[in-house]
Amino acid sequence: MKTKAADKSRALLAGHRSRLREWSQKAGLSGFQDYEVLKLLLTFAIPRRDVKPYAKALVTRFGDLRGVFDASVEDLQTVPGIGPSASIMIRFLKEAASLYLRDRIRGRALLNSPQAVIEYCRHALLGERNERLQVIYLNVQNEILDVETAAEGTVDRWLRSLPRWSTVSFDIALF
């Protein structure tokens, strides 16, 4: 009897996963709740288990989808049911999306006002745990050519590399 019940449960679960994937392909993720997005994502990392409780636990622990994506791999693994595969997949997805967006905005005239710079930096640094000093290289049309991290660290530990960058800044300002 347990075998038939387990087979029926697996069949229902597989059917649900298929329907969830089809729904996301047809309608996109905009109509999904945060836990449903995570549930779909977790189906790729956690096979043959109901992932809804794990998805809801992630939202409960981190507040929302953004909080989940901003969490470290270690913090994600504190949630019951979320192991290395699932936590790495979540971080990978966030990092891949950031690379995609960074490449997408390169060559566009986005930084033509102080507000545009603030919005760009807010997005680029979203969820970072450490302070970063970034250099944004622009052409004469204010299009982003490249972005380089000049220094990174915590508030009390990153200032050591600033003297080098302040010297570079002064050299550039003299020309």
Dihedral in degrees, nearest 10, Cα atoms 112, 116, 117, 122: -160
The pTM (predicted TM-score) of the whole model is: 0.59
Average pLDDT rounded to a whole number, residues 12-16? 57
Architecture of domain 2-102: Orthogonal Bundle (1.10)
Lowest pLDDT segment from 82-86, 88-92, 135-139 = 135-139
Q: What is the pLDDT of residues 31-66, one digit of tens each?
A: 778 988 898 889 888 887 888 899 999 999 999 998
Could you tell me where in the chain the CATH 1.10.150.20 domains are found? Answer: 2-102
